[in-house]
């Protein structure tokens, strides 16, 4: 009997220990609980959460263990959460402030532990190089999107989004950095319909090679953001803007406005277009790619496919349009005017705000015709929208749609693929036939569309 009692006590202790451990990541030690004051004596990657769900923040000094400090609630179902630190870290639960002597940062950095939520775990690390800061992350489980955030301190409340990527992305290079400066990064990832934060990771751009980038014409990639300027034409190269924001002006929905950028056989990456400076968006006059471009508030159109025979590709990024904003009444996001050409929208591109359509084949252009094709794959419409695409049946247009998620979607609301009759400019309005599924012009099945 005595042995049975001892065995029961041992099992109970083990069970209690396992339960407690679930409120902190493996290798972490709890230092305080919800709304208690804690302190750490050096920059420490602190975990906050309960029941296996955590967010992380690099902290140095005294802080309160709550959602205000960490920027989000990793597990709303649990009222009591714990703040914990790596077991080999130095910390105390007293409220006395430790001297926050900031240690000099090295040219590379990373962080321990990870961010967990929605059945996925994302572990972020950062390393400073001679020309940029390189981020890499591992993913356990499945994520639908990855947004890169940056700040110059460890407090996430003032951080800025610098890129929006698809769920399959596992790396990002931040080129818009200053030598000797420490930066903090987070990945905000989508999983099972909600957003969660990775751990924080920090690194310093060493700037060890001369900061002026070599002007070697043999390279097709331009790392500096000097070419990312409003009104520029970029031809035959890839330019990474590193999160730079540019803009011209916005004269309502006027179609005579100049483009913010013109791309001709070129790729633009990691660019932000300002809310008051969207003008007539980006014009593609040759094959072009827009990767992780963010439109803060669309003016006339986000981008236009303008030259016959080309392909315009949008990968990731997002576009917002306000109800009564700078561009007037919500209208189409991507305009397609050229013939025998294609627009591709993919990689987790996201709409927010209010819009007329995601894409429209021109209904009444001069010398109108086709075909015009659009492919939509892995796109989110987290917005109010009139319909998704409009094709001209008589010109042989074709829309191919899959993996489309729409906010509060119900059959018929909004319309997904609408067929029209295109006309020549000056011959009246383009008339609409209605919404269609699985036709020669609307290659989309109901199973390809779901509610967000």
What mean pLDDT do residues 91-104 have?
34
The predicted-structure confidence for 199-256, as pLDDT tens digits, reads as follows: 998 888 776 432 222 222 222 333 346 788 899 999 999 998 888 889 998 887 777 8
Considering only residues 305 and 216, tell me which one the structure prediction assigns the higher pLDDT. 305
The predicted-structure confidence for 144-171, as pLDDT tens digits, reads as follows: 988 999 998 888 778 888 887 888 788 7
Q: What percent of the chain has pLDDT over 90?
A: 45
Give the pLDDT of residue 96.
32
Considering only residues 26 and 250, tell me which one the structure prediction assigns the higher pLDDT. 250
CB of 405 closer than 8 Å to CB of 412: no
φ, ψ (nearest 5 deg) of residue 118: 65, 25
User: What gap in Å lies between CA 229 and CA 244, rounded to an integer?
Assistant: 9
Is 426 exposed, middle or buried (CB count within 10 Å of its CB: 0-12, 13-18, 19+)?
exposed
Rounded to the nearest angstrom, the gap between the alpha carbon of residue 342 and the centroid of all alpha carbons in its chain is: 24
- Buried (b) or exposed (e) across 109-138, using 16+ Cβ within 10 A? bbbbbbbbbbebbbbbbbbbbebbbbbebe
Considering only residues 96 and 15, tell me which one the structure prediction assigns the higher pLDDT. 15
User: What gap in Å lies between CA 182 and CA 126, rounded to an integer?
Assistant: 11
**Which residue ranges does the chain devote to CATH 2.60.40.10?**
109-204
Mean pLDDT of the chain: 82
Q: What percent of the chain has pLDDT over 70?
A: 83
Considering only residues 404 and 330, tell me which one the structure prediction assigns the higher pLDDT. 404
Provide the CB-side half-sphere exposure for 427 (13 A, CA): 13
Residue 129: band (very low, low, confident or very high) from pLDDT cuts 50, 70, 90: low
CATH class belonging to 221-451: mainly beta
On whether the pTM is more than 0.75, the answer is no
CA distances, 422 to each of 342, 363, 415 (Å): 17, 5, 19
The predicted-structure confidence for 374-389, as pLDDT tens digits, reads as follows: 999 999 999 999 999 9
User: What gap in Å lies between CA 354 and CA 326, rounded to an integer?
Assistant: 13
Distant-in-sequence, close-in-space partners of 212: CB < 8 Å, separation ≥ 6: none
CA distances, 418 to each of 361, 363, 447 (Å): 11, 12, 17
Q: Is the link from the previous residue into 371 a cis peptide, with omega within 30 of 0?
A: yes
**Which residue ranges does the chain devote to CATH 2.160.20.10?**
221-451
Nearest Cα to 27, choosing from 101, 78, 89, 69? 89
Considering only residues 123 and 305, tell me which one the structure prediction assigns the higher pLDDT. 305
Identify the DSSP state of 397. -
Out of 3.40.50.2300, 2.60.40.10, 3.40.50.150, 3.40.50.300, which CATH number does the structure's domain 109-204 have? 2.60.40.10
């Amino acid at each position: 009997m005595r042995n049975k009692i001892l065995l029961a006590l041992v099992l109970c202790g083990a069970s209690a220990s396992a339960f407690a451990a679930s409120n902190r990541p493996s290798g972490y030690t709890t230092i305080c609980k919800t709304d208690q004051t804690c302190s750490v004596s050096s920059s420490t990657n602190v975990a906050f959460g309960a029941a296996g769900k955590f967010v992380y923040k690099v902290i140095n000094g005294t802080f309160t263990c709550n959602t205000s400090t960490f920027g989000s609630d990793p597990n709303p179902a649990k009222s009591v959460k714990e703040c914990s630190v790596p077991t080999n870290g130095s910390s105390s639960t007293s409220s006395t402030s430790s001297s926050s002597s900031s240690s000099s940062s090295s040219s590379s950095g990373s962080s321990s532990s990870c961010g967990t939520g929605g059945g996925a775990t994302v572990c972020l690390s950062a390393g400073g190089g001679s020309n940029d800061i390189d981020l890499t992350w591992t993913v356990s489980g499945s994520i639908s999107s990855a947004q890169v955030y940056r700040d110059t301190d460890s407090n996430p409340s003032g951080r800025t989004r610098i890129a929006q990527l698809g769920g399959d992305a596992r790396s990002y290079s931040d080129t818009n950095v200053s030598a000797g400066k420490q930066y903090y990064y987070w990945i905000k990832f989508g999983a099972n319909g909600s957003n969660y934060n990775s751990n924080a990771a920090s690194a310093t751009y060493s700037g060890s090679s001369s900061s002026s980038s070599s002007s070697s014409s043999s390279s097709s990639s331009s790392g500096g953001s000097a070419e990312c300027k409003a009104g520029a034409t970029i031809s035959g190269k890839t330019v990474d803007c590193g999160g730079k924001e540019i803009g011209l002006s916005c004269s309502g929905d006027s179609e005579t406005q100049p483009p913010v950028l013109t791309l001709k056989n070129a790729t633009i990456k990691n660019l932000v277009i300002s809310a008051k400076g969207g003008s007539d968006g980006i014009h593609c006059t040759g094959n072009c790619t827009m990767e992780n471009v963010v439109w803060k508030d669309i003016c006339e159109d986000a981008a236009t496919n303008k030259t016959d025979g080309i392909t315009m590709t949008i990968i990731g990024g997002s576009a917002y349009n306000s109800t009564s904003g700078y561009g007037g009444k919500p209208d189409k996001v991507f305009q397609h005017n050229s013939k025998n050409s294609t627009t591709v929208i993919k990689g987790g591109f996201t709409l927010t705000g209010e819009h007329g359509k995601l894409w429209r084949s021109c209904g009444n252009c001069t010398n109108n015709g086709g075909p015009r094709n659009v492919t939509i794959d892995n796109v989110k419409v987290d917005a109010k929208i009139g319909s998704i695409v409009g094709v001209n049946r008589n010109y042989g247009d074709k829309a191919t749609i899959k993996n489309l998620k729409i906010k509060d979607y119900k059959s018929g609301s909004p319309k997904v693929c609408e067929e029209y009759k295109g006309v020549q400019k000056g011959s009246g309005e383009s008339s609409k036939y209605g919404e269609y599924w699985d036709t020669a012009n609307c290659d989309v099945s109901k199973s390809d569309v779901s509610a967000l």
